[in-house]
Amino acid sequence: MFKVGKVGEKLLYEIWKSENFETQLKTIDNQIIEIIHAGENNKDYAGPDFFNSRIKIGNITYLGDVEIDIWHSDWKSHGHYLDKKYNKVILHIVLSKERFRPYVYTQDGRKINSICLIDFINDSYQSSLRNAIESERTNRGFVMPCTEINGNILLQDKLKLLTDLGIERFKQKEKKIFERLKEMVYLKEMNIREPIVRYDFGEEFQNKKFTPDEFNDPLLWQQLIYEMIFEALGYSKNKDNMLKLAKAVNLDFLIKFKQEEKFQDIIECALFNVSGIISFDQPNSDEKSTEYLRVLIEKWSEIKDQYDGAYFKMEKWNFFKLRPQNFPTVRIAGGSTIIRRLIRDELLRNIITFFTEDHKQKKIISMLRNMIIVNAGGYWRNHYVFDKPAKEVINYFIGLSRADEIIINVILPAFAVYFEIFDDKAAARRVKNLYLNFHQKSNNRIVDQVIDSLHITNSESKSIHMQGMIELFRHYCVKGRCMECEIGKIVFK
């Protein structure tokens, strides 16, 4: 059944029922469509919009149902093509001409005519509907195909599916991490400097048997955590750049300055100069910006001869349509503190110690959050960019919500791999148990959509379920793999 959202339900249905058309309805091949009976408006939650319609198309009169969608693609994205309740549809009506196609197919393979309603209505209706369609497009989100028909699936069955998918997602992260570790070991053996555009190690690498001793260097794990956290801090728009920056300004370079009194300044000067974000010409800068830029430039001039990596350009970074607190400048500032903690404060060793000792989960969670959360301070507490002060003070470079996401997506899978490599079964079990029971203080758009689509209200904060929702959405729902999903197998059977 079509959810009209911002498009007026009464208007749409009245147009159809009153046959208020400016021109004769026709199919794409010019067959005349005559409405003998518009049908009965479906007041139920699921199924086509009109039942028992009688429509003559060409020389044939059909008795069946009518479905109204905004976009032609809704037929597939809403799962109608898999749903037996839509097998009696005799006409598919679409409001928008965007990516319009003249046919759809039912679950039993029957071909149905589609028409674009806006081609046949008068100008006053067209204007109203076009405005409504544009508004709907602006607020449009993906609708899971089973949204309207999964209500009879027990909550415990939905949660079991999400738990299984959350575990699968965790295993995929472990596999990706282990592959990256092997790459790092091999690149170091081959004396290859990252980041590089692309590489194919060939059969020698693929056939190589790695031993735990090859992963015994703490710097290897520190670099891995550094890269993964920077990638996470980049969000979708800057994650690739942040990852490349972490590979370029690597810990092999930064650790040389570990004993320097102003180590934090050195980290920031390296990151901002290499990233290309730093601006050398800011005529309208405030006094703090001028002083901060001077420190970054002078510090870099002292150490840049020791740097042999890549440089980046300002235009490669994305600021557009980002909240200022998510600007790469602020994220790099927060990431620089994480680097200092890795190198000088022995973040890696502290995490290992906590998991090898027998602590309660609540204490481990508190410890991990304290290690990842970064309070705002220094220049970037009052700035989002180099040339002018921020209107509001920044409280956190990395807050609780982002810290929880880093714990779930970086810390736990990385240390699960660590303890598995070094055969510490008890510690590995503690890591995985924490993942199973973690309740994070964050959410995202995908999770919100799946919660709404699956009609789940009480489990949204449990991280394994949230990870399962992301896995379900990205690898099943949007790819049309409904019949491979345990819910889809039942509701579309």
Say yes or no: 117 and 218 in one domain: no
- What does the pLDDT read at residue 192? 78
Element (H, E) at 131: helix 123-138
Q: Is the pLDDT of residue 2 over 50?
A: no
Say yes or no: 220 and 308 in one domain: yes
Question: CA torsion sign, 92 to 97 to 99 to 100?
Answer: positive
- What does the pLDDT read at residue 265? 95
> Are the C-beta atoms of 101 and 72 separated by less than 8 Å?
yes
Say yes or no: 124 and 235 in one domain: no
- How far apart (Å, rounded) are the C-alpha atoms in residues 166 and 459? 13
Domain-located, residue 485: no
Strand runs labelled E in 155-249: none
- pLDDT tens-digit map of 319-372: 887 888 899 999 999 999 999 999 999 999 999 999 999 899 999 999 999 999
- Choose one of 411, 443, 462: the last residue of a domain: 411
Q: Is the pLDDT of residue 99 over 50?
A: yes
The residues pairing with 104 across neighbouring beta strands, listed in sequence order, are: 112
- Choose one of 138, 154, 183: the last residue of a domain: 138
Say yes or no: 126 and 216 in one domain: no
- Choose one of 138, 169, 196: the last residue of a domain: 138
Domain-located, residue 227: yes
Domain-located, residue 309: yes
Say yes or no: 235 and 126 in one domain: no
Integer angstrom CA distances of residue 139 from 9, 69, 479: 17, 16, 21
Q: Is the pLDDT of residue 202 over 80?
A: no
Q: What is the DSSP string of 262-315?
A: THHHHHHHHHHHHHT---S--TT--HHHHHHHHHHHHHHHHHGGG--S----GG
Domain-located, residue 459: no
Percent of the chain with pLDDT over 70: 89
Average pLDDT, the chain: 88
Confidence of residue 44 (pLDDT cuts 50, 70, 90): low
Question: Virtual CA dihedral for 426, 431, 433, 436, nearest 10 degrees?
Answer: -160
Confidence of residue 138 (pLDDT cuts 50, 70, 90): low
Q: Is the pLDDT of residue 100 over 90?
A: no
Integer angstrom CA distances of residue 69 from 92, 95, 100: 8, 7, 11
Q: Is the pLDDT of residue 8 over 60?
A: no
**Most confident by average pLDDT, 34-48, 130-144, 367-381, 475-489:** 367-381
- What does the pLDDT read at residue 188? 87
Say yes or no: 30 and 118 in one domain: yes
Exposed/middle/buried for 489, CB within 10 Å: 0-12, 13-18, 19+? exposed
Domain-located, residue 435: no
Domain-located, residue 242: yes
Domain range for 84 is 9-138
Exposed/middle/buried for 420, CB within 10 Å: 0-12, 13-18, 19+? middle
Confidence of residue 3 (pLDDT cuts 50, 70, 90): very low
Predicted TM-score (pTM) of this structure: 0.77
Say yes or no: 117 and 263 in one domain: no
Residue in 230, 140, 162 with CA at minimum distance from that of residue 445: 140
- pLDDT tens-digit map of 389-415: 888 899 999 999 999 999 999 999 999
Say yes or no: 315 and 400 in one domain: yes
How many structural domains compose the chain? 2
Domain-located, residue 160: no
Say yes or no: 258 and 401 in one domain: yes
- pLDDT tens-digit map of 160-194: 999 999 999 999 999 999 999 999 998 888 887 77
Say yes or no: 129 and 223 in one domain: no
Query: 320 or 472, which is more confident?
Result: 472
